[in-house]
């Protein structure tokens, strides 16, 4: 894990293009998820829409409202342009993101502990809720210690976990993987896959970046 303060230099618009496209795509998918899976609970506030969640609707609304805000705010926090030009906006959105995750994870913890779909499903979601709170908490602690680089790394991990439920819905509800049986085994497996696999991929990329930046220094020193 790197422990230095960020040395990131402003990059040209062309160099930023792939990142801008990736963040826009993530934002679009997040907006689609909110429209399809979250809005119905606001627009149809009745037992038919809520089904098994009706008795626990307070917990569900706390959870989905926090999750929705975190999902839609997250991508903006990775914009270097926003950080450089409007640092105050970045800070305010960062606080909103953290409060949203506190609400979303509290609701998820409650929903996971009281689920009607068995202990395997409940455990997978309770642990995901803990990972959600932990990664956001680490990002917050790092920035409080003014460790910008470490803060950025934990924000990446945090958003990967925030996005897990969207990844889960893709795997569970769409394409060939949605036909796998038995149904509950499929759902539990995909909850784990939806955050463990992206988190390992993100970790490899972060550590490669870190190794490269550390090995670049002696080479530059040799040249001078
Ligand atoms: C990443 C951590 C998350 C965890 C641990 C989690 C956990 C849960 C749990 C435990 C339930 C109830 C399941 C049951 O009672 O069996 C649930 C339902 C739901 N969650 Fe999350 N969730 C997470 C992220 C999100 C996010 C970011 C959103 C976006 C708004 C979201 C939207 C929903 C919706 C719409 C439902 C209702 C039912 C469904 O569509 O499956 N969740 N979640």
Name all residues whose Cβ lies below 6 A of ligand 1. 37-38, 63-64, 67-68, 70-71, 104, 108, 111-112, 115, 117, 121, 125, 128-129, 132, 161-162, 164-165
Identify the residue whose tokens are 């932990």: 134
Residue among 35, 51, 111 to mutate when testing ligand 1 (max atoms within 8 A of CB): 111
Whether the pTM exceeds 0.75: the reply is: yes
With contact defined as beta carbons under 8 Å apart, do 63 and 107 qualify?
yes
Q: Is residue 40 part of a domain?
A: yes
pLDDT over 90 for what percent of the chain?
Answer: 86
Residue 37 CA, closest ligand 1 atom number: 35
Q: Is residue 21 part of a domain?
A: yes
Say how far apart CA 103 and CA 165 lie, in whole Å. Answer: 16
Q: Identify the CA nearest to 63 among candidates 30, 111, 98.
A: 111
Q: Is residue 4 part of a domain?
A: no
Q: Is 149's pLDDT higher than 60? A: yes
The parent domain of residue 162 ranges over 16-223
Say how far apart CA 138 and CA 127 lie, in whole Å. Answer: 16
Confidence band for 15, pLDDT divided at 50, 70 and 90: confident
Whose CA is closest to atom 2 on ligand 1?
129
Q: What is the pLDDT of residue 217?
A: 66
Tell me what the pLDDT averaged over the chain comes to.
92
Residue 186 CA to ligand 1 centre (angstroms): 16
Q: Is residue 8 part of a domain?
A: no
Residue 126 CA, closest ligand 1 atom number: 5
- Give me the number of domains the chain comprises: 1
Residue 63 CA to ligand 1 centre (angstroms): 7
Q: Is residue 146 part of a domain?
A: yes
Q: Is residue 160 part of a domain?
A: yes
Say how far apart CA 202 and CA 180 lie, in whole Å. Answer: 27
Alpha helices in 44-147 (DSSP H): 47-50, 57-73, 80-85, 87-113, 119-144
Cα separations in angstroms, 128 against 66, 76, 109: 15, 23, 9
Residue 137 CA to ligand 1 centre (angstroms): 19
Residue 133 CA to ligand 1 centre (angstroms): 14
């Amino acid at each position: 894990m790197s422990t230095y303060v960020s040395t990131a230099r402003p990059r040209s618009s062309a160099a930023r293009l792939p990142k801008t496209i990736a963040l826009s795509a993530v934002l679009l998918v997040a907006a689609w998820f909110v429209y399809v899976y979250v809005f119905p609970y606001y627009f149809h506030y009745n037992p038919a829409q809520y089904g098994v969640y009706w008795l626990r609707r307070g917990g569900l609304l706390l959870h989905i409202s926090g999750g929705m805000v975190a999902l839609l705010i997250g991508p903006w926090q990775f914009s270097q342009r926003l950080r450089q030009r409007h640092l105050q906006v970045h800070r305010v959105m960062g606080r909103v993101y953290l409060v949203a995750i506190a609400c979303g994870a509290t609701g998820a913890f409650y929903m996971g502990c009281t689920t009607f779909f068995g202990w395997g499903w409940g455990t997978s979601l309770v642990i995901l809720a803990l990972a959600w709170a932990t990664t956001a908490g680490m990002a917050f602690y790092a920035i409080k210690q003014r460790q910008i680089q470490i803060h950025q790394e934990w924000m990446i991990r945090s958003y990967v976990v925030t996005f897990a439920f969207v990844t889960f819905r893709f795997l569970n509800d769409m394409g060939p993987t949605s036909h796998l049986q038995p149904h509950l085994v499929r759902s539990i497996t995909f909850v784990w896959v939806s955050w463990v696999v992206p988190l390992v991929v993100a970790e490899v990329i972060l550590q490669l970046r870190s190794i490269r930046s550390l090995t670049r220094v002696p080479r530059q020193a040799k040249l001078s």
